[in-house]
Amino acid sequence: MNKSDAERIASVFEDAGLNETKKESEADIVITVACSVRQSGINRIYGKIKEWQDIRAKRPLTTILSGCVLKSDRKKMNKFFDLIFEINDVSKLTDFLETNIASEQKFFQIHPKYDSTFQAYVPISTGCNNFCTYCAVPYTRGREVSRPMDEIITEVQRLIEKDYKEITLLGQNVNSYGNDLKDDTTFTDLIKKIDEIEGTYRVYFYSNHPKDMSDELIEILPKLDHFPHYIHLPLQSGSDKILKSMNRHYTQKQYLELAEKIKKNVPEVAITTDIIVGFPGETEEDFFKTKQIMEKVGFSMPFIAKYSSRPGTVAAKLEDNISKEEKEKRWRELTAIQKEILSRENKKLVGENLMVLIDSEKKDKYYGRTDNYKVVELPKKQTDPIGQFVNVEIIDSEAWILKGKI
Ligand code: 5AD
Ligand code: SF4
């Protein structure tokens, strides 16, 4: 989401006649799009502030802050920035840059300066109404607002016309898309409409809430041409006690049933997830339940985070009683379990031919992802396939990577 915001902000800068530099040390203006999900992201900004103060001792430098910032951090950061603006209030930025080009536009209506020529993020909603007790988002982004469907379709159409190969629909809670719209549009309506656009492309969507996963969505997914059989379904914890304390609105049993239903309906589906370890009050027994459900579902990839208390959230009132060392230990344990699951699962892919979108290169290797989001490493050839779909034979596998040849 922050990357996507940055692409729209970059476009406002460009309209104001400013040029981007890839070298931070050369910049006259630096803008930070903050993330408040964990304290580590905010600490990085304090580190940057220190660097900028050193630069400012030698030459002028303008600093701007936007993105997700909690009130308490905003107060502390105020004096270090020349401008702080809410992401939805881009007019503050245009006034500051003395350009009025985008000032009449809503943030979503700005044409982004996409970072890539073949992969693009398209926001479909912003904000969140769920108030998971650990999460900063409802406080930094406000309530959920869905973007009108025709506006999204226009942006996706434009991207496909420009031959973009991969589009990621973004929202804090994509599968509740439309709940705030007057015309009963649902997320399923949106993806069906996108799928009708002709072209060679694939579409992902992030992130889903298990409680908003409709039967309609599960049934339609395998029937679409451009949507890989892939669902990101944040679990957060396997313990009912912790799930309740997190305000997640489902139990371990309900999550498992949902995962089973998805697997039954969507052939060879890849399910990825988010897990938090060390939430206040998480006992060994609670943690054991998370390990159990991980084995049962067999996630294609879990994004495991150590709990970080966010000022102003409901969970911040609970004692952060799991030590740093214990969080680290639990994180390692889950990572080891996952490594074993993936080593086992990935071996089954050796010998298969898979479509891979090549997206980067390093030394003598290309890297890309399969439809179900597995990273593949390929030896470099003379012809340049970056940004292209290629058919790859998987010849070897490790836990975190597949190895193949075109
Ligand atoms: N501490 C740790 N992880 C968090 N996440 C959100 N808030 C926190 C927090 N306070 C994780 C959740 C979410 C993902 C985007 O970030 O797992 O799904
Ligand atoms: Fe945060 Fe996601 Fe929960 Fe919304 S659904 S409060 S964004 S974790």
Domains of the chain, residue spans: 2-96, 107-347, 353-405
pLDDT tens sequence across 120-155: 999 999 999 999 999 999 999 999 999 999 999 999
Which residues make Cβ contacts (< 8 Å) with residue 188, sequence separation at least 6?
214, 216, 217, 220
Question: So what's the pLDDT on residue 350?
Answer: 97
The yes-or-no answer to whether 107-347 and 353-405 have a common fold is no
pLDDT tens sequence across 260-305: 999 999 999 999 999 999 999 999 999 999 999 999 999 999 999 9
- Global pTM exceeds 0.75: yes
Handedness of CA 281, 285, 291, 295 (dihedral sign): negative
Count of beta carbons in the 10 Å neighbourhood of residue 260: 12
Using a 6 Å cutoff on CB, does residue 128 contact ligand 2? yes
The residue whose C-alpha atom lies closest to atom 3 belonging to ligand 2 is: 132
Contact 166, 119 (CB under 8 A): yes
The residue whose C-alpha atom lies closest to atom 12 belonging to ligand 1 is: 274
Ligand number, closest to the Cα atom of 130: 2
Share of the chain above pLDDT 70, in %: 98
What mean pLDDT comes out for the span 347-375?
95
* Amino acid letter, residue 109: Q
Q: Tell me how far the alpha carbon of residue 6 lies from the centroid of ligand 1, in angstroms.
A: 21
Question: What's the token pair of residue 363?
Answer: 């030394």
User: Mutate which of 2, 143, 145, 172 to test ligand 2's pocket (most atoms within 8 Å of Cβ)?
Assistant: 172
Would you list the DSSP string of 226-277? Answer: SS-SEEE---B-S-HHHHHHTT----HHHHHHHHHHHHHHSTT-EEEEEEEE
CATH entry, 353-405, from 2.60.120.200, 3.40.50.1360, 3.30.930.10, 2.40.50.140: 2.40.50.140
User: Mutate which of 206, 235, 276 to test ligand 1's pocket (most atoms within 8 Å of Cβ)?
Assistant: 276
Question: So what's the pLDDT on residue 298?
Answer: 92
Q: Tell me how far the alpha carbon of residue 291 lies from the centroid of ligand 2, in angstroms.
A: 22
Question: So what's the pLDDT on residue 340?
Answer: 95
Q: Tell me how far the alpha carbon of residue 392 lies from the centroid of ligand 1, in angstroms.
A: 34
Using a 6 Å cutoff on CB, does residue 42 contact ligand 1? no
Using a 6 Å cutoff on CB, does residue 1 contact ligand 2? no
pLDDT tens sequence across 35-88: 999 999 999 999 999 999 999 999 999 999 999 999 999 999 999 999 999 888
What's the distance, CA 237 to chain centroid? 19
Question: So what's the pLDDT on residue 102?
Answer: 53
Q: Tell me how far the alpha carbon of residue 39 lies from the centroid of ligand 1, in angstroms.
A: 11
Q: Tell me how far the alpha carbon of residue 132 lies from the centroid of ligand 2, in angstroms.
A: 6
Q: Tell me how far the alpha carbon of residue 221 lies from the centroid of ligand 1, in angstroms.
A: 27
Q: Which CATH superfamily is domain 107-347 in?
A: tm_1862 like domain (3.80.30.20)
Ligand 2 atom with least separation from CA of 247: 3
Question: So what's the pLDDT on residue 383?
Answer: 74
Question: So what's the pLDDT on residue 99?
Answer: 66
pLDDT tens sequence across 168-222: 999 999 999 999 999 989 999 999 999 999 999 999 999 999 999 999 999 999 9
Question: What's the token pair of residue 102?
Answer: 């985008």
- Classify strands 301-306 and 29-34 as parallel, antiparallel or unpaired: unpaired
* Distances 155 to 5, 109, 161, 198, 305 between C-alpha atoms, Å: 15, 9, 10, 14, 33
Q: What's the CA gap between 166 and 356, in Å, rounded?
A: 11
Q: Mean of the per-residue pLDDT values for the chain?
A: 94
**Res. 338: pLDDT tops 60:** yes
Question: So what's the pLDDT on residue 100?
Answer: 56
Question: So what's the pLDDT on residue 213?
Answer: 97
Question: So what's the pLDDT on residue 193?
Answer: 98
Lowest mean pLDDT among 40-49, 73-82, 97-106, 107-116: 97-106
